[in-house]
Amino acid sequence: MQVVRITPRGYCYGVVDAQKLVRQVAEDPKTRKPIFVLGLIVHNRHAVEELDRYGVVSLDGENRLELLERVSEGTVIFTAHGVSQEVRRRAAEKGLDVVDATCPDVTKTHDLIRTLADEGYTVLYIGRRGHPEPEGAMGEAPDRVHLIETAEDVRELDLAGKRLAVVTQTTLSRWDTDATIAQLRQLYPEVEVYNEICLATQLRQEAAVRQAEACDLVIVVGDTRSNNSNRLVQVVKEQAARPAYLVDGVDDIDPRWLEGKATVGVTSGSSTPSPITRDVIHFLEQFESQSQVGDRRE
């Protein structure tokens, strides 16, 4: 069995910078304590556990505003996913020190939504319900943004005669959004489209689809809550027509997936620490040699 290391994979610059910033803040003696991260700095259990060691408290929950009510003093860090204006206002009201680790690509989308809303557009934001990024982005102009996740959401719209613009979440797949955009264009031919899928997400997805074609199976290393990791599984299955599994680490690999497979590809989401992916690759290579030893003994 051959193990193909799909590249590029793993950490993007937004995740690297966010983690670096949290470590710097934690190590700076001038930082007001306690230090809280509003949400998980990135959606990966291992990455969050690493920050625990710096004495940083990660607050987990779906709604950033509700999480903020648990904080009454010290420093609050906004994650790479971004936060709404309401969260910023509330943190200031509470007199907290604020550190903003929002990814510049997410900030760019926030700026775009604000500009479009100011110009009178109604914004159709294609994103995942319950994910923090739509919560923050839609919070730029809550009265003017509709969240679109399913075909049903599109059918329920009644926006004839309005100036419309489509904006996408950064970590979706273009194949997904293309279908929704086509549906929107049919109903509202004048709609303007702003594809905000970030380059890191796009490059990882395109590489996974291209390189999966030479594989019998692809293993994606990432957390179940990581949107970009889940999308990697989806694009491999749908675009490369190969089986794909999401694993948090070696323990999640079911050896039965590997039976009879000659080539296994490995990739990882942009929030997955490299050592976890290296362990998975190492396991697969060992598994390969164990199988070959087994074959030789038979």
Please give the residue ranges that form the binding site for ligand SF4 (CB under 6 A).
Answer: 12-15, 80, 103, 105-106, 170-171, 198, 200-201, 228, 270
Residue 133 appears among annotated catalytic residues: yes
The residue ranges of DSSP E strands in 101-198, in sequence order, are 122-126, 145-148, 164-168, 192-194
Residue 64: partners with Cβ closer than 8 Å, 6 or more residues away: 38, 39, 83, 84, 87, 132, 135, 136
- Annotated catalytic residue: which of 62, 66, 133, 298? 133
Q: How far apart are CA 96 and CA 98, in angstroms?
A: 6
Least distance from C-beta 28 to ligand SF4, angstroms? 23
Q: Of the two residues 44 and 270, which places its CB atom closer to ligand SF4 in the complex?
A: 270
Q: How far apart are CA 163 and CA 204, in angstroms?
A: 33
Q: Which amino acid is at 48?
A: V
With CB atoms as reference, the residue minimizing the distance to ligand SF4 is 14
Q: Of the two residues 15 and 96, which places its CB atom closer to ligand SF4 in the complex?
A: 15
Q: Of the two residues 15 and 76, which places its CB atom closer to ligand SF4 in the complex?
A: 15
Least distance from C-beta 229 to ligand SF4, angstroms? 10
Closest C-alpha to 199, from 171, 234, 167 = 171
| Region for 126 from its dihedrals, namely left if φ exceeds 0, alpha if ψ lies in -120 to 50, beta otherwise | beta
Least distance from C-beta 219 to ligand SF4, angstroms? 20
Least distance from C-beta 175 to ligand SF4, angstroms? 17
Residues annotated as part of the active site? 133
